[in-house]
Amino acid sequence: MNKAFQDIANAGGTTVRTWGFNEVTSPNGVPYYQRWSGSTPTINTGTDGLQNFDKVVAAAKANGIRLIVALTNNWADYGGMDVYVNQIVGQGQPHDLFYTNAKVISAFKSYVSTFVGRYKNEPTIMAWELSNEPRCKGTTGTTSGTCTTQTITKWATDLSAYIKSIDSNHLVAIGDEGFFNQPGNPSYPYQGGEGVDFDANLKISSIDFGTFHAYPISWGQTSDPAAWGLQWIKDHATSQKAANKPVIIEEYGITPANIQGSTYTSWLSTVVSSGLTGDLIWQAGTVLSNGQRTSNDGYAIFPDDATYQVLKNHAAALKSRG
């Protein structure tokens, strides 16, 4: 952990977004934060549970890093929303019941209360995020057919206010991909079909800043993904100004490697010039002392990558903006 945070700090990074969740139905040899037995969850406060997250906080603090912590996942990685739905409502039930089922909401709030309450006076935590990439659909693709942008906006309004009632010391964001709600727009991330309305969500009084992600190729924007990403950044900067709230791009990725450096240089220059509050790379890679490289889903940037210098230069430029 210390080496990872050290590499980020050496690149000029000041903030890391990380996971505050891992749902399991049986221990699998790695740290987990909540274990389920039927419909009953038990939060793990042991050395392989929240005490492990204490070490994350301590390592971040030692390297001058602040943390943005997401509290669940839209996707099946590390458990996420579908574990709540499967264990409480029934296996394979619609993903979006996470946002509307009273028992599921109560169980998640119980987890949030314990996790957030544990760190409510910890200055190393910068912000809480309701989820990583909430959508009407999850990994399984099952939905009730009734989930709309209003469903997720209502959930975000309720849950963010709940977090504020527990912890008034930290910022709260949604952790969404920043999809707009413009039905009929020819570009998929602007159509609102995933149940996310960025501008409506940014207006929620208990949401302190907006978030968005950028994976143009994965989202079908293949004709000129670099140019599409530039406009995506500019449009969110426009929303930032309209709402008078900070907005950050907290995940972005493009491949292949031969266009990565030039694309990121262009995108990050636009972050600076547009007035967007800031950005986080997905994802920071580290080479450990034994030579092992941390996980890489194709987007990780390691200190020995050419793009690492792009990020260092950008960090300096962003700080010089003031």
For residue 128, what are the β-bridge partners?
A: 69, 172
Judge whether 23 counts as a catalytic residue.
Answer: no
Give the tokens for residue 39: 């419909």
Dig out the tokens for 116 from the structure. 């957030």
Q: Is 194 a catalytic residue?
A: no
Q: Helix or strand or coil: residue 3?
A: helix
How far is it, in rounded angstroms, from Cα 33 to Cα 29? 12
Per-residue b or e along 252-284, where b marks 16 or more CB atoms closer than 10 Å to that residue's CB: bbbeeeeebbebbeebbebbeebebbbbbbbbb
From 129, 177, 194, 251, the catalytic residue = 251
Out of 23, 129, 133, 177, which one is annotated catalytic? 133
Q: What residue has token string 């996980």? A: 295
Helices vs. strands in the chain: H and E counts, helices first:
9, 10
Buried b (16+ CB within 10 A) or exposed e, 54-90: eebbebbbebebebbbbbbbbbeebbbbbbbbbbbbe
Look up residue 67 and give its two tokens. Answer: 């943390």
Q: Where are the alpha helices (DSSP H) in the chain?
A: 2-10, 50-62, 81-88, 102-118, 149-166, 198-202, 225-243, 257-274, 306-321
What is each CA distance from 195 to 109, 202, 204, 243, in whole angstroms? 21, 14, 16, 20
Q: CA dist 249 to 54, 92, 221, 229, Å?
A: 26, 32, 18, 11
Active-site residues, by number, are 133, 251
